[in-house]
């Protein structure tokens, strides 16, 4: 498998700092013990974690019911996520947390709110009652299309309180994308806002919801948070202001006693077809996974201020802005806006202002800051930081070293965490008090996680050869399926190797057994840590009246990791050129959202195809990257096509 042979030759090793290790929640001894238990009996390990880290109304009868590929964890157990994230921090020996900050929120314009656990509890109960008043019952789906404001976390927790299943749609998605997700989930209620602040301006959201809900027969009501004060139209009887309903709502609402396998949320992720997959997560296993990993990997202490910079619209935000930190009783930071607004030092100013201790962010952000210059972080006091994390894509060693030196002042361990929307929580990661790190490697599986790299025949790949990253035992935070599509669930994740989860990533292991994840091996691209299917962009392009055919590939990009390149053949009569390229870019933005907007559009008379008519993406990837085409072109239908694409004179 030459394509997934690693070219990295990174040999630097950073041993865990002794002082950090002494105070770590999980030290070397704990980790060794848990690794042993997790290796021999993942069930016993996770049952121990579920007992120690999660509060249950009634105990489970069976730890794991595994009928491949369908898993049930903590069968028969009853619990409530909002109870774990709120109530248990207000009672008994934890009652001192009542007035501890649960959420430190900062808006882009510089306004801020500090919400204590007691306050958050009241707001969540109020909104739970609001939803009850709108007829929302256990099992109903609620779509959340919101900016990064506290009301988003409140709405999520309120859903969990009454057993409604939330489906969050990232605010950057278009009306069309929102409509499809609302309909697929069958959401009865949409919670949104008039807008949010981005790059110094109000970015309207409500108009997109209005547009989407022209064709969403399932939606009965809409609740709108007033964030920006921009003008919106409110449809009588269907639309309600958040503040008006909340003013009337009671601040007490008992938490529903939910089954461990009750659907907690659906989160859509890009697929390799045009249609996004609704990844389903349930209650007990997910909460056990995110609570345990947040405590162990981020070493969360009661005195910590934890900042995960992800938008809550992505899985990283679900698990490590909201559920993981709050379930641990920690203080979580939420920031509404863009990293460089009003200036390139906004993040560093935030860290200094709130005394952030733990920062969890993405390589694409780190690379952006490298380019902006060291003077911005250096103009702020970042000495509160004690631990750094990375997620979303492979971190190149240069970015790792810069992050360590300039942001971490050389003193903070870095946890490079590999996981997916589908895994629910972190899977492969260093433990900061116990595991030596190598820049660019996510190191070892978390205890109780059975990860491996397999070759085509299903044998563990031998260094230096790479292979496919798989998970060989179910884990508590795993997806329980694709909403409404068990067949696709089976085919997508479980059909490559028997009873083994196929992650879709290429990886290899070094002599220490460390994992080096190299990226997607399927038709998905990772743009700034966000997954976009090539097919999704292609179907958006071909829905434009001037496009005959489109092929989309990724090319390496210094900032976003991958940039989208679209090869387009236009319909007769349509003129190729900058005007059409601009029209296609905005068409894709309208269909999917700005994250899917192609960086380059290349017009061509024909696309390179095999004799059976399959587009040869490998060739297009080389062309897009400006590389000479390597490998076999013997199945290429017409070599002239390739020459024309490259702009060669000879063919």
Question: Which residues of this protein are in contact with ligand 7RM, per CB under 6 A?
Answer: 269, 314-316, 391-394, 416-421, 442, 503-505, 517, 519-520, 526, 529, 531
**Length of the chain, in residues:** 651
CB of residue 524 vs ligand 7RM: minimum separation in angstroms? 8
Q: How far is the first Cα of the chain from the last one, in angstroms, to the nearest whole number?
A: 29
Closer to ligand 7RM by Cβ: residue 107 or 425 = 425
Instruction: Tell me the sheet residues that pair with 282.
Output: 263
Q: Is 123 helix (H, G, I), strand (E, B) or coil?
A: helix
Contacts by residues 450-456 (CB-CB < 8 Å, ≥ 24 positions apart): 450/39, 450/42, 451/427, 451/515, 453/507, 453/508, 453/509, 453/515, 454/497, 454/500, 455/1, 456/1
User: Rg of the Cα trace of the chain?
Assistant: 24
Closer to ligand 7RM by Cβ: residue 423 or 629 = 423
| Helix ranges (DSSP H) in 41-87 | 42-53, 81-85
CB of residue 478 vs ligand 7RM: minimum separation in angstroms? 13
| Helix ranges (DSSP H) in 100-165 | 117-133, 150-162
Residue with the shortest CB distance to ligand 7RM: 421
- Is residue 598 exposed (0-12), middle (13-18) or buried (19+ Cβ within 10 Å)? buried
Closer to ligand 7RM by Cβ: residue 329 or 467 = 467
Closer to ligand 7RM by Cβ: residue 151 or 416 = 416
Q: Which tokens is 453 given? A: 């790299």
CA distance 466 to 503: 14
CB of residue 314 vs ligand 7RM: minimum separation in angstroms? 6
Closer to ligand 7RM by Cβ: residue 305 or 517 = 517
Closer to ligand 7RM by Cβ: residue 171 or 392 = 392
CB of residue 73 vs ligand 7RM: minimum separation in angstroms? 20
Closer to ligand 7RM by Cβ: residue 297 or 601 = 297
CA distance 541 to 339: 30
Q: Is 342 helix (H, G, I), strand (E, B) or coil?
A: coil
Q: Which tokens is 39 given? A: 């290796």
CB of residue 205 vs ligand 7RM: minimum separation in angstroms? 22
Identify whether the C-beta of residue 509 lies closer than 8 Å to the C-beta of residue 461.
yes
CB of residue 131 vs ligand 7RM: minimum separation in angstroms? 28
- Is residue 71 exposed (0-12), middle (13-18) or buried (19+ Cβ within 10 Å)? buried
Instruction: Tell me the sheet residues that pair with 593.
Output: 173
Closer to ligand 7RM by Cβ: residue 54 or 414 = 414
Q: Which tokens is 601 given? A: 């559009």
CB of residue 508 vs ligand 7RM: minimum separation in angstroms? 12
CB of residue 393 vs ligand 7RM: minimum separation in angstroms? 5
């Amino acid at each position: 498998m030459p394509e997934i042979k690693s070219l990295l030759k990174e040999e630097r090793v950073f041993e865990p700092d002794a002082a950090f290790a002494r105070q770590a929640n999980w030290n070397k001894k704990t980790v060794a013990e848990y690794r042993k238990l997790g290796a021999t009996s993942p069930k016993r390990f996770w049952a121990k974690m579920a007992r120690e880290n999660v509060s249950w109304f009634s105990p489970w009868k069976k730890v794991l019911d595994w009928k491949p590929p369908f898993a049930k964890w903590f069968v028969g157990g009853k619990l409530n996520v909002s109870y774990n994230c709120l109530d248990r921090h207000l009672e008994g020996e934890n009652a001192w947390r009542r007035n501890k900050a649960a959420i430190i929120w900062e808006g882009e314009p510089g306004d801020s709110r500090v919400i204590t656990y007691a306050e958050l509890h009241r707001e969540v109960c109020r909104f739970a009652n609001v939803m009850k008043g709108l007829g929302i019952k256990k099992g109903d789906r609620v779509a959340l299309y919101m900016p990064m404001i506290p009301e988003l976390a409140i709405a999520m927790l309120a859903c969990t309180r009454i057993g409604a299943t939330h489906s969050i749609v990232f605010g950057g998605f278009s009306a069309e994308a929102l409509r499809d997700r609302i309909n697929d989930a069958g959401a009865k209620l949409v919670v949104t806002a008039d807008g949010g602040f981005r790059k110094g301006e109000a970015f309207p959201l409500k108009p997109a919801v209005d547009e989407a809900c022209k064709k969403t027969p399932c939606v009965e009501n809409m609740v709108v948070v007033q964030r920006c004060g921009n003008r919106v139209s409110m449809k009588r009887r269907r639309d309600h202001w958040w503040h008006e309903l909340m003013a009337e709502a009671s601040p007490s609402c008992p938490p529903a006693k939910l089954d461990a396998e009750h659907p907690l949320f659906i989160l859509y992720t890009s697929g390799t077809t045009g249609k996004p997959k609704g990844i389903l997560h349930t209650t007990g296993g997910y909460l056990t996974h995110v609570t345990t990993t947040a405590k162990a990997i981020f070493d969360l202490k009661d005195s910590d201020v934890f900042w995960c910079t992800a938008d809550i619209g992505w899985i990283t935000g679900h698990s490590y802005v909201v559920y993981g930190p709050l379930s641990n009783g920690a203080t979580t930071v939420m920031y509404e806006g863009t990293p460089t607004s009003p200036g390139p030092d906004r993040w560093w100013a935030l860290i200094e202002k709130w005394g952030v201790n733990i920062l969890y962010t993405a390589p694409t952000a780190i690379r952006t800051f490298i380019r902006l210059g060291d003077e911005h972080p250096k103009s702020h006091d970042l000495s509160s930081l004690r631990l750094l994390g990375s997620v979303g894509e492979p971190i190149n060693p240069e970015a790792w070293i810069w992050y360590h030196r300039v942001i971490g002042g050389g003193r903070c361990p870095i946890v490079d965490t590999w996981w997916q929307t589908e895994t629910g929580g972190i899977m492969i990661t260093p433990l900061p008090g116990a595991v030596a790190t190598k820049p660019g490697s996510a190191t070892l599986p978390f205890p109780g996680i059975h990860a491996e790299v397999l070759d085509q025949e299903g044998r563990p790949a031998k260094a230096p050869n790479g292979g496919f990253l798989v998970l060989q035992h179910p884990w508590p935070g795993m997806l329980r399926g694709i909403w409404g599509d068990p067949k696709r669930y089976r085919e997508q994740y479980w059909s490559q190797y028997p009873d083994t989860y196929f992650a879709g990533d290429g990886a290899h292991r070094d002599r220490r057994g460390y994992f080096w994840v190299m990226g997607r091996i399927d038709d998905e691209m990772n743009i700034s840590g966000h997954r976009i299917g090539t097919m999704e962009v292609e179907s958006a392009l071909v829905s434009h009246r001037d496009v005959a055919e489109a092929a989309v590939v990724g090319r390496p990009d210094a900032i976003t990791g991958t940039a989208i390149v679209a090869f387009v053949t236009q319909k007769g009569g349509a003129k190729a050129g900058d005007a059409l390229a601009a029209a296609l870019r905005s068409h894709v933005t309208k269909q999917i959202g700005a994250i899917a907007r192609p960086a380059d559009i290349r017009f061509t008379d024909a696309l390179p195809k095999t004799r059976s008519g399959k587009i040869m993406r490998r060739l297009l990837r080389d062309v897009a990257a400006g590389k000479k085409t390597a490998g076999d072109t013997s199945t290429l239908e017409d070599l002239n096509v390739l020459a024309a694409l490259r702009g060669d004179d000879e063919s």
